[in-house]
Structure 1
Amino acid sequence: MPSTTHPEFNNHTEALEVAQAFPSAIQGKTAIVTGVNPNGIGFATAEALASQSPTHLILTGRTPSKLTTSISLLRAKYPSVTYHALPMDLSDQSSVRTAANTILTNPSIPEINIVINSAGIMNIPTRTLTPDGIEITFATNHIGHFLFTCLLMPKIIAAAKTNPRGTTRIVNVSSLSPTIAKMRWSDHTFSIKNKDLPEAEQPNYNVLRQWGATDVENASYVPVEAYNQSKVANVLFGIGLTRKLWEKFGILGAALHPGIIQTELARGFGDKELEAVEKMKQAGYIQHRSLGAGAATSLVAALDPGLAEGMVGGEVRDGKENWGAFLLDCQISGLAAHLAVASEEADRLWGVSEGLVGEKFEW
């Protein structure tokens, strides 16, 4: 059964410490990190990877100037790495396809060893649909990553074929949402009032109120619930990847909660959300950690060989499937709700995701 090899790693461990523990998993490899800007955990993730001399480090983001600044900062410390800036708007499928094609047609990048899907948005104040007709939080946090990862699969599989089994990884940065939320299968565009959803799909109203939402039963779109949906999807996507790719190629998917970090993710918060966050801080529910500590669990998920040992597929522990699919504080966590780690839910999400991008993926 999967496990971690450094039980001493915890919520205070820094990403650089994790990278230094697994140098051979990075040296000479090609890694992609999405959502990189100098003030986010994507940058801290990229910095930790750069410290151990990957051959190629591909950084994606919506804002080219932030990518340029990030690469300048990284190159000043780690000049031997070949950096690639890849502008990409994950909410726009045409942008995602263009970015993926840029990598696929680059002959200097024959394979991709590690993908860390770190980009994300949160608390968009009003319900917003993308040009593809998808709620923008779900589109950005899940569907964009789903499409990007699947399009890159030829080069990910190429890495799996030439490297030890289990070392090729796809990591999705989730949150604590999978511990208290489940998928809203009948209404992913948030057009139906919560109280009119099937009872099994109605959100956790107490959690929504805790985040400052009011009249939640009569609301159809609640910003934090849109975020919760996308973060549950991150976990189920990782499970879906493992189910499709582990047996044949030895490719592992995983997801994690990075901890709570002060980043640009909170830029969409309104007064009610900010007030709610302050109350949770005072109650001790929220404790911020550094950017480096926020990136550490991503590095464990991407690098720790123990996560690939004993893999049979769908391991059950404490009545939950897919042990090892969700990490917290640099260790495997059993806190995710049953429906956030269920294989049947992962298969269902895969089908929904293929429908939303208009393409089926078989490898």
Structure 2
Amino acid sequence: MPATTHPEFNDQTEALEVAKAFASSIHGKTILITGVNPGGIGFATAEAFASQSPSHLILAGRTPSKLTASITALRTKHPATTYHALEVDLSNQASVRAAATTLLSWPDIPQINILINNAGIMNLPHRTLTAEGIELTFATNHVGHFLLTCLIMPKILAAAEAEAEAETEGNTTTTTRGATRIINVSALSASIAKMRWSDPTFAIKNKDLPVSEQPNYDILRQWGTPDPEERSYVPVEAYNQSKVANVLFSIGLTRRLLEKYGVLSLALHPGIIETELAREFSAEQTAALEQMWRVRYGSYRSLGAGAATSLVAALDPGLAVGVGERREGKENYGAFLVDCQNV
């Protein structure tokens, strides 16, 4: 298993501390982060990167006013970086395609060194399908990121090619394999949830699914869901499925891109942070979940601590070592980080 180079980093480590530790991997780079708004871990992630003078920082989100506020705040503290706002609604494929076309047209952004797929929604109270017939949580948290990543891949591959050329010419003292990265912010629920392959839109009752696809009913009850066997759409399970997809996406990207192009993809759990992600929770759900979190996790972590694992995933060179090898007959393609460490 790939190991991190800072085993002392943990659940209390702040993103700014991680950025300082890997400053040379940030300086002069172009970084794209989705889901950036003041008060969220996307902003904390952007602020940590901005502290070490990347060349370009692209902030993507669906609300122009929040992007403007984020850029204003970052530029005030870190004026050396050039900031770009990219408006995109990840649940809308036309919007994603338009955003990708815009980004690909920017002549001053020839490459993207790091992509952080951070945006997400959770706990939508009612089953909703997009214009393409995709369940809204899945469309936003996974499909939108999948499409955006694929569409802007030419600039990601351009970054990997530039890194390899620099290594060949002797302009770097470290290997560049895996330096260009695509990071998918998942959740701890990915370790206990399943993909609903036969019914991704939640049209069938859980009890009528193949046994291998039925959710963990005990977990759903802990989240305040009565009679989960009799339900088809369960808001938290829609979120959980999208988070499993984030991990599978990272594994698939690494399998396809690392050996051929030098691009590495990792997934992670950022921790339990009090953000707008919980804005759809009812008062009863919030109370139940806060009780569960206090028992399991103690307390919420800060935004900076919530962003720290994304920084480790994006920057730590140790996480590229050994990926793609076969160990004990199994392919070592995946990596999932929790509390700034690979698990």
Classify the TM-score, shorter chain. Answer: over 0.9
Provide the secondary structure at the position in 1 that maps to 2:138: helix
Q: What pairs up with 1:256-335 in 2 under 5 angstroms?
A: 256-285=268-297, 287-313=299-325, 315-316=326-327, 322=332, 325-333=335-343
Q: Structure 2 vs 1, CA of residues 308 and 7 (structure 1 numbering), >3 Å: closer, same or farther? A: same
Unmatched runs of 5 consecutive residues or more in structure 2: 164-175
Using the alignment, how far apart are the partners of 2:38 and 2:330 within structure 1? Answer: 37
Q: Structure 2 vs 1, CA of residues 21 and 316 (structure 1 numbering), >3 Å: closer, same or farther? A: same
How many residues are aligned here?
A: 331
Q: Which amino acid aligns with 1:80?
A: A
The answer to whether the Cα contact below 8 Å between 2:184 and 2:246 also exists between their aligned partners in 1 is yes
Tell me the residue number matched to 2:253: 241
Question: 1:190 and 2:212 equivalent?
Answer: no
Question: 1:19 and 2:29 equivalent?
Answer: no
Unmatched runs of 5 consecutive residues or more in structure 1: 334-363
The answer to whether the Cα contact below 8 Å between 2:250 and 2:334 also exists between their aligned partners in 1 is no
Provide the secondary structure at the position in 2 that maps to 1:115: strand
Tell me the residue number matched to 2:166: none
The answer to whether the Cα contact below 8 Å between 2:254 and 2:333 also exists between their aligned partners in 1 is no
Within the candidate set 219, 227, 231, 2:243 is matched to 231
Q: Structure 2 vs 1, CA of residues 320 and 202 (structure 1 numbering), >3 Å: closer, same or farther? A: farther
Tell me the residue number matched to 2:150: 150
Tell me the residue number matched to 1:28: 28
Tell me the residue number matched to 2:2: 2
What's the CA shift string for 1:60-82, capped at 9, x where partnerless?
A: 11110000000000000000101
User: How far has the Cα of 1:322 moved from its partner?
Assistant: 3.5
Q: What pairs up with 1:133-212 in 2 under 5 angstroms?
A: 133-163=133-163, 164-212=176-224
Divergent runs of 4+, >4 A? none
Tell me the residue number matched to 2:226: 214
Using the alignment, how far apart are the partners of 2:337 and 2:150 within structure 1? Answer: 22
The answer to whether the Cα contact below 8 Å between 2:251 and 2:333 also exists between their aligned partners in 1 is no
What's the CA shift string for 1:78-136, capped at 9, x where partnerless?
A: 00101000111000000000111111011110000000001000000000101111000
User: How far has the Cα of 1:23 moved from its partner?
Assistant: 1.0
User: How far has the Cα of 1:316 moved from its partner?
Assistant: 4.7
Tell me the residue number matched to 2:54: 54
Q: Which amino acid aligns with 1:265?
A: L
Using the alignment, how far apart are the partners of 2:248 and 2:298 within structure 1? Answer: 25
User: How far has the Cα of 1:323 moved from its partner?
Assistant: 6.2
Tell me the residue number matched to 2:168: none
Output the aligned Cα RMSD. Answer: 1.4
The answer to whether the Cα contact below 8 Å between 2:53 and 2:81 also exists between their aligned partners in 1 is yes
What's the CA shift string for 1:139-163, capped at 9, x where partnerless?
A: 0000000000010100000000011
Using the alignment, how far apart are the partners of 2:330 and 2:231 within structure 1? Answer: 31
Q: Structure 2 vs 1, CA of residues 220 and 99 (structure 1 numbering), >3 Å: closer, same or farther? A: same
Using the alignment, how far apart are the partners of 1:301 and 1:285 within structure 2? Answer: 22
User: How far has the Cα of 1:197 moved from its partner?
Assistant: 0.2
User: How far has the Cα of 1:252 moved from its partner?
Assistant: 0.2
User: How far has the Cα of 1:312 moved from its partner?
Assistant: 2.8
Tell me the residue number matched to 1:97: 97
**How much identity, in percent, do the aligned residues show?**
70
Provide the secondary structure at the position in 2 that maps to 1:275: helix
The answer to whether the Cα contact below 8 Å between 2:323 and 2:332 also exists between their aligned partners in 1 is no
